[in-house]
Chain A
């Protein structure tokens, strides 16, 4: 019962996170919208640009080498009205990103939520505490 309730909550939250419709392109052809993955790394840089922000994350691979992952978010226009700023994510920040993976298996996907070391959470629908 409890796990059911938690599943429902997760669905509700992830549904909300992916709710923003894109003005620009369809998500499903390139991102697996039924999958959800999590990866941790260090922010390399952030493109605070239209039509989408991109969060570039350095993640150690199995050989211990750093690999750069790319995560597409909404636009700065959308996010700036919902609590993000262009400095919300700083290079060097440690972050755990939940994402819809790229269908072709390359390292990256659609940004859903990012949890920073201090507990601050950034979502693609807007920043939270």
Chain B
């Protein structure tokens, strides 16, 4: 698949002209598909790192905590002092990056020419990692999972992600500055084991890069299941950050919260 030009495309929607930049690629050829066989095979369903039997343990001890700059350490202390019980995830808001990669639910990797797609079962999230040589956009719209490109360094898939919504955090009560950057290194360490090294940097929020390493296990028999958080969510936090549980209407739709 030959990379073509970075072409400005003009999209017309609802009578409004919207300028957008689009990375255009030629359709994959038989050679592109054949070349896939030479790549490490990440395809399949991987067990989440935090729990479970038969794999998923974190590599060595408890995960390190992010080291904050004085200004962001002060912000974290302010947020900690509010003593909120929980995060908006209790209200079913997806966690975004980097937390979305640390849930006790599996991940499926799909590999196609020029792209690796990660399906996170938790909150039914999808990450689109373009490996077709495109650069990261200079000023992407902020999103929960960011904008990702990937490249192969030997057998390691190196993914860089930028452009995060202010609604996502580096960690609990730890906002990012808008300049957060996440580099993930995915490498097979056995037929069905993978090491995921994640490094978060943020020149304003973090005093040092924050690196965590996880070991994942491939579960050949597993499929990704549906996860509609709103299906029967009886948990909530209110506008003051107080957590609660709805017991009304057992067996039916949970009643109004708060």
Does the CB pair A50–B245 fall under 8 Å?
no
- For A21, give its contact among B50, B226, B228, B237 (CB under 8 Å): B50
Name the residue on A nearest B251 (C-beta). Answer: A45
Given A24-B89, A44-B250, A72 and B234 touching (CB < 8 A)? Answer: yes
Name the residue on A nearest B232 (C-beta). Answer: A49
Does the CB pair A75–B250 fall under 8 Å?
no
**Chain A facing B: main interface SS:** loop
Does the CB pair B90–A25 fall under 8 Å?
yes
Does the CB pair A23–B251 fall under 8 Å?
no
Does the CB pair A25–B243 fall under 8 Å?
yes
Report Cα–Cα, A68/B103, bound state, in Å: 31
Does the CB pair B121–A47 fall under 8 Å?
no
Tell me, yes or no, whether B139 is within 8 Å of chain A by CB: no
B229 neighbours in A (Cβ, 8 Å): 24, 50-51
Report Cα–Cα, A22/B233, bound state, in Å: 13
- For B234, give its contact among A22, A54, A126 (CB under 8 Å): A54
Name the residue on A nearest B244 (C-beta). Answer: A30
- For A50, give its contact among B53, B222, B231 (CB under 8 Å): B231
Name the residue on B nearest A110 (C-beta). Answer: B245
Does the CB pair B53–A51 fall under 8 Å?
no
B233 neighbours in A (Cβ, 8 Å): 24, 51-52
Tell me, yes or no, whether B92 is within 8 Å of chain A by CB: yes
How many A-B residue contacts, CB cutoff 8 Å? 98
Please give the number of chain B residues whose Cβ is less than 8 angstroms from any Cβ of chain A in the complex. Answer: 35
Please give the number of chain A residues whose Cβ is less than 8 angstroms from any Cβ of chain B in the complex. Answer: 34
- For B250, give its contact among A22, A23, A26, A68 (CB under 8 Å): A68
Does the CB pair A49–B231 fall under 8 Å?
yes
B235 neighbours in A (Cβ, 8 Å): 24-25, 30, 51-52, 72
What are 8 A-to-B residue pairs whose CB atoms are below 8 Å?
Answer: A23-B122, A24-B90, A47-B232, A50-B229, A70-B234, A72-B245, A78-B104, A102-B245
Add 19 more A-B contacts to A26-B85, A78-B105, A126-B53 (CB < 8 A): A20-B51, A23-B105, A23-B122, A23-B123, A24-B229, A26-B86, A26-B87, A44-B251, A47-B232, A49-B232, A51-B92, A54-B250, A54-B251, A68-B250, A70-B250, A75-B227, A77-B105, A77-B227, A80-B225
